Amino acid sequence: MAITEELSALRDDTLAAIAAAETTAALEEVRVAVLGKAGSLTGYLRSMGQVPKEERAAVGKAVNEARVAVEEALGARKATLDAAELDAAMDAAAVDVTLPGRVQQRGTRHLINGIIDEISEIFLGLGYSVAEGPEVETDYYNFEALNAPADHPSRSMQDTFYVLDRSGDAARVRGESEVLLRTQTSGVQVHAMEDQELPIYVIAPGKVYRRDVADPSHLPQFHQIEGLVVDEGITFADLKGTLDYLCKQIFGPERKTRFRAHYFPFTEPSAEVDVSCGICHGEGCRMCKGTGWLEILGCGMVDPNVLGMSGIDPERYSGFAFGMGVERIACLKYNVPDLRMLLEGDMRFLRQF
Ligand code: DAH
């Protein structure tokens, strides 16, 4: 076969292969096979020297025509395949704007903070102010100034966590008041009596700590709300009226209160307050362990000795104090059987409040 015929056959085969290439990669293979270093058409271009002189012009023309035709076809096919591949890539990466979005879960105030707010509002309405005290406290404010000196038996019920200084010494070693995590908000009473003008009408919500293992009715860290009133002519009747009002505000107007004699070092007389059971209304049930009553807080008339230690004249002034556990109130109000449920962060539980 004459070279020019070979060339036209090669050109036709190549144009057919170009038209049949479905991807840019397949097209590139065709290009390399024909026009690459070892390509078939390149071979003809290289061997022009061996072509007899008289045929050289005709063969050269045919090789060139074949090269131009192949290059044009390659270019056109590449443009078509590039565009198709870009379209496919864009389709694959497309975002479906019609898909529904993911709903963000909105948080709510935690039940414990909700109860603190609710009780604070009740007392703000009675003209009280809200005070805060330090969670890291000295032994003096947590115990001593509340009539519980170092050897007082009531301390054994409120063991806590002690804070050492950098050398590892307890403050006691240096003859100073020991530093501890407060076991009760009652120390804020002492700060209020030292710092505020009389009369005092104050509540103090806050965190407290005890060396207790968590169980359905104990937590090593929980919240209390303390109350303190110091004024002229304050009597136990004021205390009763205030706490009865508080219970009716928290639990509902049909609930009754009762005061049971009790002991606290810093109040005299002291009492524990019970509210009538909201499940059985006093009949006795499992919630109230058959008694018809639920214990909700401790209270009493501020011991004159406590007033005196904080520089207040007990001959002229008298006062009352009370303290309640916020987690306990939350559980009683909503019939939660285990204090630990308040801390587990389970949204199914928390969302209910
Ligand atoms: N601080 C006491 C406790 O943690 C509760 C308490 C009882 C507070 C009587 C008071 C009070 O202010 O008068 O057990």
* Distance of alpha carbon 337 from alpha carbon 324, whole angstroms: 18
Which atom, in ligand 1's list, is nearest to the CA of 189?
12
The residues near 170 (Cβ < 8 Å, ≥ 6 apart) are 162, 164, 178, 179
What are the boundaries of each domain within the chain? Answer: 3-92, 111-350
Confidence (pTM) = 0.73
Tell which one of 184, 208, 324 to mutate to probe ligand 1, the residue whose CB is within 8 A of the most ligand atoms.
Answer: 184
CATH entry 3.40.50.300 includes domain 111-350: no
Angstrom CA distances, 66 to 1, 74, 115, 226, stand at: 17, 12, 90, 100
What DSSP string describes 21-71? --SHHHHHHHHHHHHSTT-HHHHHHHGGGGS-HHHHHHHHHHHHHHHHHHH
CB 117 within 8 A of CB 109: yes
Closest-lying ligand 1 atom to the alpha carbon of residue 157: 14
Q: What is the pLDDT of residue 286?
A: 86
Closest atom of ligand 1 to CA, residue 224: 4
The single residue listed with the structure tokens 């005709």 is: 58
- In 3D space, the residue among 204, 232, 210 whose CA is nearest the CA of residue 326 turns out to be 204
pLDDT in tens, the chain (353 residues): 588 888 889 999 999 999 999 999 999 999 999 999 998 999 888 888 888 888 888 888 888 899 999 999 999 999 999 999 999 999 999 988 899 989 988 888 999 999 999 999 999 999 999 999 999 999 999 999 999 998 999 998 888 998 887 776 767 677 788 999 999 999 999 999 999 999 999 999 999 999 999 999 899 999 999 999 999 999 999 999 999 999 999 999 999 999 999 999 999 999 999 999 988 988 999 888 899 999 999 999 999 999 999 999 999 999 999 999 999 999 999 989 899 999 998 989 998 98
Give the number of the atom of ligand 1 that is nearest the alpha carbon of residue 320. Answer: 13
pLDDT of residue 146: 97
The rounded Å distance from CA 84 to ligand 1 centre is: 80
Could you identify the atom of ligand 1 that is nearest to the CA of residue 323? 8
Q: Is the CB of 142 under 6 A from ligand 1?
A: no
Ligand 1 centroid distance, CA of 328 (Å): 14
Q: What is the pLDDT of residue 298?
A: 98
Q: Which tokens belong to 59?
A: 């063969």
- Is residue 120 within 8 Å of residue 132, measured between CB atoms? no
Closest CA to 204 of 227, 223, 222, 182: 227
pLDDT confidence of residue 1: 58
Contact 161, 209 (CB under 8 A): yes
Supply the residue whose CA is at minimum distance from atom 8 of ligand 1: 323
What are residue 221's DSSP bridge partners?
A: 209
Q: How far is the CA of 264 from the centre of ligand 1 (A)?
A: 7
| Pocket flag, ligand 1, residue 321 (CB < 6 Å) | yes
- The pLDDT, as a whole number, for residue 341 is 95
CA of 265 from ligand 1 middle (Å) equals: 9
Strands (E) across the chain are located at 129-130, 136-138, 162-163, 179-181, 200-209, 221-231, 257-264, 267-276, 293-302, 318-325
Residue 200 β-bridge partners:
230
